[in-house]
Amino acid sequence: MALDVIDLRGFYGSVLGGVARRFIGQFVRSRWEACTGYSVLGVGYATPYLDPFLSEAVRVLAFMPAEQGVVHWPGKGLSSTALVDVTMMPLPDASMDRVLLVHALETSDQPYDLLNEVWRVLTPGGRMIAVVPNRRGMWARVDTTPFGYGRPYSRSQLRELMREAQFSPLNWAEALYVPPFARRYLLRSAPAFESIGSKLALPGAGVHLVEATKQLYSPVMTRRVLRRKVPQLQPALVSAHRMPGDAKRETDD
């Protein structure tokens, strides 16, 4: 189920959206501290997390699914956004060093094809970060935020999807332990929720955060050879002077 770009922009303009951007953005920036000389791509609705890379990356692009819609970004200068089919992105092979997926996997009807396309455009040694709703978290259970739409994942489901798409996870984390309600006292306590939840690795965080790199070679699958049991044939004594039709004639007699 695709989200509407207007709703996404409205959420990130709210106080609760600012909380999500703060804690998810901290993880993204801690993993990608410096992207000088890199090409960075955001897929889905990743623009709230791409601003820090504008001043250092060679290029920063934001691709948004056709079903979602597109907005102009960044606010000043030429737009770096495009409306695309995210399973067939208009980029050459191995052209991007970093790819950030936000509001993408969970709303895609073809998550495997999406990851396959990300694998294609990533450079050898390139990194991807996926932000995916946690199926055990409260954020996936209410539809007042964009994280309540689409298909949430457990960590094991996400790991299996990554494996099938030939990605190797490098770092796992979780974020958004604060309940997804715009209550002032909750939002004021958001840093405490986040600190306690991450230190104790409590279940129920709002999103999974996984950084992965592409596998350069597909694993060789060992095919098991099935041996058929061949029936054992017993030799039969046949006269050297017997003709092929003799056996039939003897039967007829």
Q: Which domain holds residue 180?
A: 5-216
Segment (H or E) for 100 = strand 96-102
pLDDT of residue 134: 97
Kindly tell me if the per-residue pLDDT of 230 is higher than 90.
no
pLDDT of residue 34: 87
In a domain, 172, yes or no: yes
In a domain, 250, yes or no: no
In a domain, 230, yes or no: no
Give me the number of domains the chain comprises: 1
In a domain, 60, yes or no: yes
Q: What percent of the chain has pLDDT over 70?
A: 85
Q: What is the mean pLDDT of the chain?
A: 87
In a domain, 175, yes or no: yes
Kindly tell me if the per-residue pLDDT of 250 is higher than 50.
no
* Domain containing residue 34: CATH number: 3.40.50.150
Between 92 and 243, name the one with better pLDDT: 92
Kindly tell me if the per-residue pLDDT of 183 is higher than 90.
no
In a domain, 222, yes or no: no
Secondary structure, 3-state, the chain: CCCCHHHHHHHHCCHHHHHHHHHHHHHHHHHCCCCCCCEEEEEECCHHHCHHHCCCCCEEEEEEECCCCCCCCCCCCCCCEEEECCCCCCCCCCCEEEEEEECCCCCCCCHHHHHHHHHHHEEEEEEEEEEEEECCCCHHHCCCCHHHCCCCECHHHHHHHHHHCCEEEEEEEEECCCCCCCCHHHHHCHHHHHHHHHHHCCCCCCEEEEEEEECCCCCCCCCCCCCCCCCCCCCCCCCCCCCCCHHHHHHHC
Q: What percent of the chain has pLDDT over 90?
A: 74
pLDDT of residue 216: 80
Q: Which of 29-43, 125-139, 208-222, 225-239 has the lowest mean pLDDT?
A: 225-239
Between 32 and 237, name the one with better pLDDT: 32
In a domain, 194, yes or no: yes
pTM for the full predicted model: 0.83
pLDDT tens for residues 95-131?
999 999 999 999 999 999 999 999 999 999 999 999 9
Q: Which of 75-79, 107-111, 117-121, 138-142 has the lowest mean pLDDT?
A: 75-79
Residue 1 binned pLDDT confidence (cut-offs 50, 70, 90):
low
Instruction: State the average pLDDT over residues 14-42.
Output: 95
In a domain, 153, yes or no: yes
pLDDT of residue 217: 66
Between 249 and 17, name the one with better pLDDT: 17
